[in-house]
Amino acid sequence: MSEPMSIVESQGLRHYLFLVWKWLWLFILIAILSGGVAFTASRMTIPIYQAKTTLLINEQPTTGVSDYTAILLSQLQATTYSNMLTNRVLMQKVITDLGLKTSANSLAASITVDVVANTRLITVTVENSDPTLAANIANALAVQFNDQLHSLENTTYSVTISDLTNQMAIIDQQIQSTAASLAALGTDDKSATGDTLRTTLAQYRQTYANLVLKLEDARLAEASTGSSVIQLEPAVPNRNPIRPRVLVTTLLAIFAGLVLAGGAVIVVESLDDTIHTPEDVKKHFGLPIYGVIPSYSVETDKPITQVEPRSPVSDAYRALRTNIHFASVDRPIKKLLITSSIPGEGKSTVTANLGVVMAQSDMQTTIVDSDFYRPTVHKLFGLDNRTGLSDLLAEKQMNINRNVQKLELSGLGLLSTGKLPPNPSELLGSEKMAQIIQLLSEQVDLVLIDSSPVVVVSDSMVIASRVDGVLLVIKPGVTRIASARQAIEQLRRANGNVLGVILNNVNVKRDGYYTYNSYQYHYGEDKIAKNSPVAWIKRILKRKKK
């Protein structure tokens, strides 16, 4: 059997592009909601302003110290100062100085101190809802910290001078006492006691002289002490808030919303196990697509191929007809079963319209409605269902012509179900049913049989082995992969020749199929697919003529 013509070549890519279009409303909605919520929340949030000041550590000159040691000392001093800048005592002084109504811990939490690497600079950053107050806090902190350091240094020198003065007073008393004892012995005394007193007196005087030098050094150091920290860049009010950043927050919220929506779409689509494109059919079942019937709406219930024969949908049915004609070059299909996996996929509508286009191509066609559970074909043609297939099966001597109803279209007949029997599967599987199908195929060019859904009942399986081929109708977005796979497996187990699939009621705009018009998918004289069997046969015929 030759491969039927490829109706759509790039449906996979088109499907995913239209999938984006399908969920575009969700992306737009999520973007608007997330952006709107973020924008509103940002606008309602109290803005926070930031002020910065830079401090320089006024390092005192050191002598007798290596460069590496000096660097380490400088780093330690900067780290120490950075920790001191947020201590509770200093915070309380700033609060008192500015008259703030907050606690020391709350104020410290709004201050960030950073040491600039490889420098003697310290950056103090203050955050506050008032930009002016933030700058005032930063400047007050620098002043109070400098005063605190100066006070600590003065206290240190005062203690040192006091200790040296006390030691000098004690040594002076000892000098006077020793001198008095030596005077009592006399100037010319050469005794051992005199020598000892003279040695002790000299030591006291040397100690006293050393203390005098230390005291002078301490006083000079105290006099030369200046600011330990210099404020290089005073803080100024910054009217641009650091948070909330309304635009950035809104854009980030929109991006996060789009990512969330994309994840939701991926989850939903991954959970969707229905068939959408011809690529899904080929991937999961390895079957060719015999027809793609677009969705349509008409005011009448009659077959669209009969009501609007020049419509794009009718062209799609003619393309289906052409595929069936060339499905088997050596062995023409005369008995064709049309079925589906589940109800509601439009198999009866496909059967009726296919019968019409077959008759329009001068093929004698008889439609047999064997769906005893939901007979529909007679309604599409506006006929009654008083007699039909069930009557033939019950007759001892069959009169097929009496039960086949002739339609308005020449060459088209309908054998409806007739009265609904209680045991349809047994009747359809009987030898009499096989005789009816055979007799009909001898009288007409094509017998189209509409049967019940495969997964629901077993009627289609008992007929499948008595026909030349079976076409499975699938409705994209409705038919599940598991249902279609089960139907195909059951038909094959019943020795049915599953030719391929008909995609019915396809939303060509939503699902990304080619637009149907009078020029596309019309395989008569207008246009034939280049890679189709039709084109292949025509090329062979042309070569033979040459």
Cβ contact 209:175 at 8 Å = no
Residues 391 and 311 in one domain: yes
Report yes or no on 77 lying in a domain.
yes
pLDDT at 325: 86
| Contacts of 152 by beta carbon, 8 Å cutoff, 6+ apart | none
Residues 224 and 100 in one domain: yes
Whether residue 126 is predicted with pLDDT greater than 80 in this model: the reply is yes
The least confident of 389-398, 418-427, 452-461, 521-530 is 521-530
Residues 279 and 198 in one domain: no
Residues 180 and 313 in one domain: no
Q: What is the CA radius of gyration of the chain?
A: 51
Average pLDDT rounded to a whole number, residues 9-22: 61
Average pLDDT rounded to a whole number, residues 173-201: 80
Report yes or no on 109 lying in a domain.
yes
Greater confidence, 227 or 292?
Answer: 292
Whether residue 219 is predicted with pLDDT greater than 80 in this model: the reply is no
Of 204, 233, 262, the position where a domain reaches its end is 233
Average pLDDT rounded to a whole number, residues 100-120: 89
pLDDT winner (highest mean) among 36-45, 187-196, 532-541: 36-45
Residues 448 and 355 in one domain: yes
Residues 170 and 311 in one domain: no
Residues 227 and 304 in one domain: no
Whether residue 518 is predicted with pLDDT greater than 50 in this model: the reply is no
Which domain range does residue 53 map to?
Answer: 49-233
Residues 495 and 347 in one domain: yes
- What CATH number corresponds to the domain at position 136? 3.30.1890
pLDDT at 408: 85
Report yes or no on 240 lying in a domain.
no
pLDDT at 185: 78
Residues 525 and 408 in one domain: yes
Greater confidence, 534 or 219?
Answer: 219
Of 233, 263, 295, the position where a domain reaches its end is 233
Report yes or no on 241 lying in a domain.
no
Q: What 3-state DSSP class applies to 263?
A: helix
Percent of the chain with pLDDT over 70: 83
Cβ contact 368:440 at 8 Å = yes
Average pLDDT rounded to a whole number, residues 172-182: 84
Q: How much is the mean pLDDT over the chain?
A: 82
Average pLDDT rounded to a whole number, residues 395-406: 84
Whether residue 19 is predicted with pLDDT greater than 80 in this model: the reply is no
At residue 330, what is the residue type? D
Of 233, 263, 294, the position where a domain reaches its end is 233
- pLDDT tens digits for 466-492? 999 999 999 998 899 999 999 999 999
Report yes or no on 398 lying in a domain.
yes
- What CATH number corresponds to the domain at position 438? 3.40.50.300
Domain count, the chain: 2
Report yes or no on 268 lying in a domain.
no
pLDDT winner (highest mean) among 62-76, 91-105, 190-204, 296-310: 91-105
Average pLDDT rounded to a whole number, residues 2-22: 56
pLDDT at 493: 93
Report yes or no on 263 lying in a domain.
no
Residues 167 and 279 in one domain: no
Alpha-carbon distance values, 230 to 54, 70, 146, 152 (Å): 9, 20, 8, 16
Residues 166 and 288 in one domain: no
The least confident of 345-359, 391-405, 513-527 is 513-527
What is the C-alpha separation between 37 and 155, in angstroms, rounded? 58
Report yes or no on 25 lying in a domain.
no
Whether residue 321 is predicted with pLDDT greater than 90 in this model: the reply is yes
Residues 221 and 346 in one domain: no
Closest CA to 445 of 341, 321, 279, 528: 321
